[in-house]
Amino acid sequence: MPNVVERTLTEEQVAQYARDGYFVARGLFSPEEVAEIREAFMEQAAEGPIPGLSDTGYQFLPNDPLARYPRMMHPHRHPELPVGPLSERVLLDARLHAILRDLLDDEPIAAQSMFYFKPPGARGQDLHQDNFYLRVKPGTCLAAWLAVDDADRDNGGMVVVPGSGDIDLVCPDETDKTQFFTSHHVPVPEGLREEAVDLAAGDVLFFNGSIIHGSYPNTSADRFRRAFIGHYVPAESVEVARGYRPLLTFEGREVEMADAVGGGPCGAPISARLH
């Protein structure tokens, strides 16, 4: 007799995610847990960018605050650093596991961790689709975006395009580098519109790999907008871009998937680096 897994979310919550492409779990992490994450990453970044962890491969502007606080990529792969074990613990948290399982209707596999600092004055991240980079097949990936600070339009909070989670991947345009630090811009489809999603520290925004999303510049005078992000793929997937391995089960076991092959919607290979 197969094991019956009890659902964490209601049918209404799962239906809302299916309709809109995103779901917010309010207060999933406690203030104490969020403070631990915030303090660990700020201490890790105290001496500036860290080779092999900090993403310094972008074009920074003069006096760019992101040059001092670039995002950190795959911190869970760095057990030698203080943020390494903490990142793996957050990435594989049982509360995330339960919600991801409900939203995917499959066992989730962890593919990536990231930490964004987004200090005051930092540029945003233009509208994009995550699965343009992860290239998960079949299906798509799913992100869990943990707010480490309150995040709103003033300090560059998240923006989503509800209903865009059902569209195909779009070949992006070039972005406005004065406003955004990444390269790609996906236009909002006709009939849809972008919406800000205000989050309190400890809230987690879940969204699928096709939904168009991004964030605008941090125009506040003194507010960081820090966030810890995990990306996950369904266990039934057979392909993922090479840069997202090793893949981990929520028990910490490595699993294998084939390299994503062929071109993307632009007709050319896509980098395995998530922008």
- Model pLDDT for residues 242-257, shown as the tens digit of each residue: 999 899 999 999 999 9
Report the alpha-carbon angle 157-189-179, nearest 5. Answer: 40
More confident residue, 120 or 269: 120
Residue pair 228/148 in contact by the 8 Å Cβ criterion = yes
For tokens 């680096």, name the residue. Answer: 273
Residue 206's nearest CA partner among 60, 74, 75, 108 is: 108
Q: How confident is the model at residue 4 (pLDDT cuts 50, 70, 90)?
A: very low
Q: Is the sign of the CA dihedral 70, 76, 79, 83 positive or negative?
A: positive
pLDDT for the residue 58: 82
State which fold the 11-52+68-259 domain adopts: Jelly Rolls (2.60.120)
pLDDT at position 267? 58
d(Cα 144, Cα 152) in Å, to the nearest integer?
Answer: 17
Q: What are phi and psi of 14, to 5 degrees?
A: -65, -40
pLDDT mean over 202-209: 98
Two tokens at 258? 């084939």
d(CA 218, CA 5): 41
The region of weakest confidence among 26-35, 72-81, 238-247 is 238-247
pLDDT, residue 6, reads 63
- Classified as helix, coil or strand, 266 is coil
Tell me: pLDDT of 146 over 60.
yes
Provide the token pair at 21: 């492409």
Instruction: Write out the H or E segment, with its range, that includes residue 142.
Output: strand 142-147
Residue 201 has pLDDT above 90, yes or no: yes
DSSP 190: T
The secondary structure element, H or E, covering residue 239 is: strand 239-240
Residue 77 phi/psi, 5° resolution? Answer: -90, 10
Label residue 263 by pLDDT band (50, 70, 90): low
Residue 20: CB partners within 8 Å, gap ≥ 6?
A: 160, 162, 163, 165
Q: CA 15, CA 40: separation in Å to the nearest integer?
A: 36
d(CA 111, CA 232): 5
254, 129 contact by CB (below 8 A): no
Question: 83-97 pLDDT, tens per residue?
Answer: 999 999 999 999 999
Q: What residue ranges do the domains of the chain occupy?
A: 11-52+68-259
CA dist 176 to 6, 123, 132, 245, 266, Å?
A: 46, 10, 19, 31, 20
Query: Percentage of the chain with pLDDT > 70?
Result: 93
Q: Mean of the pLDDT values across residues 177-190?
A: 92
Residue 48 vs residue 264, higher pLDDT: 48
Percent of the chain with pLDDT over 90: 84
Question: Which pLDDT score is estimated for 203?
Answer: 98
Strand, helix or coil for residue 264: coil
As a whole number of angstroms, the distance between CA 101 and CA 96 comes to 8
